[in-house]
Chains A and B, each alone.
Chain A
């Protein structure tokens, strides 16, 4: 019942240097793919892939949050009652394990597998991969959620007091502390395309933040109840939100327009988007994976589903593998989702098979290229665009300083020709040929000015009409 086929559309995406292709789960004619169980998939595939489905029974220390490192080799699990462990999940090699004796709200890897951050009950702690506590950052208190911006080396934290704080992990300084004034922040996502932080709020709005502004960049009303989960795809085009009104909505984040929404009988408490665009939604004890969510077609039925035994608390796709990690009340489950991961990695960027030397080289280059937080905005390519506004400003100042416009075209002076071709009449004829071009510019300018003036007058008269309602108008001069 399971075939590894290579759909042609997937193959045409990467035509160069393609080592691996993507294959999806395909069922028999009358079989729904979401009824195929994980155990069956694990039996049907080879041993290595089959071992990617496993369960860690950790029922003592509360529901688990998880984070995969950027290369996908290491997994960090943090239980709410204080259990923090980091594992190389493919070899099941335990790197470190400890109990921090406090509530753990969130765990996150920093730029390499050498350090991770744990948001504990009061403060933010940074540990080494061996479990040695490196820093206790007291400035970051009551942190509920964290997101790491890899190219800026910024750890963004959302706190219960409504503060959004950014910590630069390469120099160890707090870059920005923004008082969002929107209450308790416990829904957070990052847009990997432009490093903007998305926060979901109990009044159904999603706000977008950058460390350069004290106010949000954008505020969108997404749901009629509280927003419970957010996910943004890697190209920065689509945002998937789920709320207490039991709806799952897909928005186009570039134009801020809703694309489609679907009704889930129980609202999704966790959302995660894979590198290839598969969406996983967790409702209670069930995880459902949807295909082809991003786009204009509404989603119909799930691609895969899995039922667990504990309440789901964390959901994350492993970067270059077909694996979905689920943290729940009874521990951790790793689920096989064919077609989820990007098969072709770039060895010079994030390389799951990198050696010690390669990692060192990559770290140095990444630190040298670290983007400054001032460049975070809705459009990451803004530096490459022409700054028309300041050009015009400078041009105006230049005209004032010089007294004339250096870019203005000179009036057309026709060349004098020989053999009687430059009589007065001939010159006038030549001038008239060019004259209408200059005239056209002048006419266009005057027409523009006139329309602008008329618009202003209209607006003023509209204001007058609307403003006439006040009874105190007769006292206004």
Chain B
């Protein structure tokens, strides 16, 4: 029995506000304490999976299991990992040269890999028995190098990109349809998880091309100022996708209005290499050539969180785990790191009191988030020295450009220099 007082007395309450003065300052003090404690408990790094012998080029999650992931390295090795035990279950020498893309089949029984040796290979998720050599279920030879692969959500078709975007049926050894639009190479292709007939791909002519598998030609493309490396569809909102661009930004587009991005996410100080949405569709994580990964809310222009380590070099790929709790990052120093998506979250089973306390603290921080002291503490993140320097440099450069634009506008005929918002500056053209 936990009661220290006799059961008959209980805990009499009187909620008269005159008996509880200073409600606002006391709540503010609690919010300040909650923010400080959140920063104290913000220890996002969980584990590092090492074992690869070359930089990691791609990671993919198992379609059905939360505890398995596969990663492909730049020496053609593909490893299957068990996350709770942080150990490698199986290693497959899949390709000679880079493993360019991996995707897992929706049923969870097999996965596909594409590599620099112009092949698409399909493998079994289960390891072969003892003494049996590791063999792909299916191998397809192509004419050119494939740079990316993605699988349909429900049917047995997958799409690859390389010199053209090809849609393949699993039973056939040649693509059932091929899209191209005068571009020499594509870097990434993704199926829309909600509207399963839509596709998007990042092309080397600095554009993002949209396709519908039911049509015979691509739908339209939006050309930007610099090339996009990867893109990811929002799993909750069928018409939004976010592309990770070389000009240190990420752009969220609405496919219905491609002329202006919905949001420009600016915070990285070097090219953004990969982006992945959380299963709730409210946030996404981005990996950048500056050695950090950042978590952005889907509608805000700046990141809410930045993860970095001295040991983590250029991050090539990120994935958000399907239970919304973890973020995986694969970098070119041969490690995959497991991070908490919510840095100060306590893992494991929480008691009812702990849950109530966490919810209360979160709500307090939300209520007082605009007060300067609370905001200052909540926003504070440590950044490595060179990234901080680079950030300041970039800010100065942008300020200088803005000042020059303003001066030009001030000293020219009113209306001759149009006022462009940040969103409008980055799209060059939309081509149908």
Q: Which residues of A line the B interface, CB within 8 A?
A: 14, 16-17, 19, 151, 192-195, 234-236, 342, 344-349, 353, 355, 357-358, 368-372, 375, 380-384, 401-404
**Could you name 18 residue pairs across A and B whose Cβ atoms are closer than 8 Å?**
A14-B14, A17-B15, A151-B26, A342-B14, A345-B12, A346-B12, A346-B13, A346-B19, A347-B11, A347-B13, A369-B29, A369-B30, A371-B25, A380-B21, A380-B25, A383-B25, A384-B24, A403-B419
CB pair B409 A403 closer than 8 Å = yes
Q: How long is the Cα–Cα vector from A405 to B29 in the complex, in angstroms?
A: 35
> Nearest chain-B residue to A372 (Cβ)?
B29
0/1 string, B301-342, CB within 8 A of A gives 1: 000000000000000000000000000000000000000000
Q: How long is the Cα–Cα vector from A370 to B30 in the complex, in angstroms?
A: 9
Q: Does B347 contact A (CB under 8 A)?
A: no
Residue in contact with B15 in the complex, picked from A16, A193, A235, CB distance below 8 Å:
A16
Q: How long is the Cα–Cα vector from A342 to B409 in the complex, in angstroms?
A: 69
Q: Does B178 contact A (CB under 8 A)?
A: no
Chain B nearest CB, measured from A357 CB (Å) = 5
> Nearest chain-B residue to A234 (Cβ)?
B18
CB pair B25 A346 closer than 8 Å = no
Q: How many residues of B contact A (CB 8 A)?
A: 29
Looking at A17, A236, A368, A369, the one whose CB has the most chain B CB atoms below 10 A away is: A369
0/1 string, B1-31, CB within 8 A of A gives 1: 0001100010111111011111111101110
Contacts of B26 in A (CB 8 A): 151, 369, 371
CB pair B9 A380 closer than 8 Å = no
Given A151-B21, A345-B14, A404-B419; A375-B28 close (CB under 8 Å): yes
Q: How long is the Cα–Cα vector from A195 to B419 in the complex, in angstroms?
A: 52
CB pair B22 A195 closer than 8 Å = yes
Chain A nearest CB, measured from B30 CB (Å) = 6
Given A383-B371, A403-B406; A355-B14 close (CB under 8 Å): no
Apart from A17-B12, A342-B19, A369-B30, list 19 A-B contacts with CB within 8 A.
A151-B22, A194-B22, A344-B12, A345-B12, A346-B15, A346-B16, A348-B11, A348-B13, A349-B20, A368-B29, A369-B29, A370-B29, A371-B22, A371-B25, A375-B25, A375-B28, A380-B22, A381-B23, A383-B371
Q: How long is the Cα–Cα vector from A195 to B22 in the complex, in angstroms?
A: 9
Chain A nearest CB, measured from B259 CB (Å) = 17
> Nearest chain-A residue to B19 (Cβ)?
A346
Residue in contact with B9 in the complex, picked from A194, A195, A353, A371, CB distance below 8 Å:
A353
Q: How long is the Cα–Cα vector from A132 to B187 in the complex, in angstroms?
A: 79
Q: Does B263 contact A (CB under 8 A)?
A: no
Chain A nearest CB, measured from B418 CB (Å) = 11
CB pair A346 B14 closer than 8 Å = yes
CB pair B22 A358 closer than 8 Å = no
Chain A nearest CB, measured from B263 CB (Å) = 15
Q: How long is the Cα–Cα vector from A372 to B26 in the complex, in angstroms?
A: 9
Shortest 8 CB-CB contacts between residues of A and residues of B: A371-B25, A344-B14, A347-B11, A346-B14, A403-B406, A375-B25, A381-B24, A384-B24
Chain A nearest CB, measured from B408 CB (Å) = 10
Q: Does B33 contact A (CB under 8 A)?
A: yes
Chain B nearest CB, measured from A15 CB (Å) = 11
Q: Which residues of B line the A interface, CB within 8 A?
A: 4-5, 9, 11-16, 18-26, 28-30, 33, 371, 402, 405-406, 409-410, 419
Q: How long is the Cα–Cα vector from A271 to B356 in the complex, in angstroms?
A: 45
Contacts of B410 in A (CB 8 A): 403
Chain B nearest CB, measured from A364 CB (Å) = 12
Q: How long is the Cα–Cα vector from A355 to B16 in the complex, in angstroms?
A: 23
Given A151-B22, A369-B26, A403-B409; A14-B4 close (CB under 8 Å): no
CB pair B16 A14 closer than 8 Å = yes
Chain B nearest CB, measured from A122 CB (Å) = 34
Contacts of B29 in A (CB 8 A): 368-372
Q: How long is the Cα–Cα vector from A234 to B419 in the complex, in angstroms?
A: 58
Chain B nearest CB, measured from A191 CB (Å) = 10
> Nearest chain-B residue to A347 (Cβ)?
B11
CB pair A355 B30 closer than 8 Å = no
Chain B nearest CB, measured from A77 CB (Å) = 26
Given A347-B11, A371-B29, A375-B25; A358-B18 close (CB under 8 Å): no
Chain B nearest CB, measured from A156 CB (Å) = 16
CB pair A383 B5 closer than 8 Å = no
Q: How long is the Cα–Cα vector from A190 to B410 in the complex, in angstroms?
A: 58
Contacts of B18 in A (CB 8 A): 193, 234-235
CB pair B21 A358 closer than 8 Å = no
Contacts of A151 in B (CB 8 A): 21-22, 25-26
Q: How long is the Cα–Cα vector from A346 to B11 in the complex, in angstroms?
A: 8
Chain A nearest CB, measured from B255 CB (Å) = 23
Q: How long is the Cα–Cα vector from A348 to B30 in the complex, in angstroms?
A: 17
Contacts of A344 in B (CB 8 A): 12, 14, 16
Given A347-B13, A403-B406; A355-B24 close (CB under 8 Å): no
> Nearest chain-B residue to A353 (Cβ)?
B9
Contacts of A403 in B (CB 8 A): 405-406, 409-410, 419
Q: How long is the Cα–Cα vector from A342 to B16 in the complex, in angstroms?
A: 11
Contacts of A192 in B (CB 8 A): 21
Contacts of A370 in B (CB 8 A): 29
Contacts of A234 in B (CB 8 A): 18, 21
Contacts of B4 in A (CB 8 A): 355, 357-358
> Nearest chain-A residue to B372 (Cβ)?
A390
Contacts of A357 in B (CB 8 A): 4
Q: How long is the Cα–Cα vector from A346 to B4 in the complex, in angstroms?
A: 17
Q: How long is the Cα–Cα vector from A381 to B26 in the complex, in angstroms?
A: 10
Q: How long is the Cα–Cα vector from A369 to B20 in the complex, in angstroms?
A: 13
Contacts of A375 in B (CB 8 A): 25, 28
Contacts of B14 in A (CB 8 A): 14, 17, 342, 344-346
Contacts of B11 in A (CB 8 A): 347-348
Chain A nearest CB, measured from B257 CB (Å) = 16
Chain B nearest CB, measured from A409 CB (Å) = 15
CB pair A19 B12 closer than 8 Å = yes
Chain B nearest CB, measured from A277 CB (Å) = 11
Contacts of B24 in A (CB 8 A): 380-384
Q: How long is the Cα–Cα vector from A14 to B4 in the complex, in angstroms?
A: 28
Chain A nearest CB, measured from B29 CB (Å) = 5
Given A349-B19, A383-B25; A368-B12 close (CB under 8 Å): no
Q: How long is the Cα–Cα vector from A151 to B15 in the complex, in angstroms?
A: 17
> Nearest chain-A residue to B409 (Cβ)?
A403
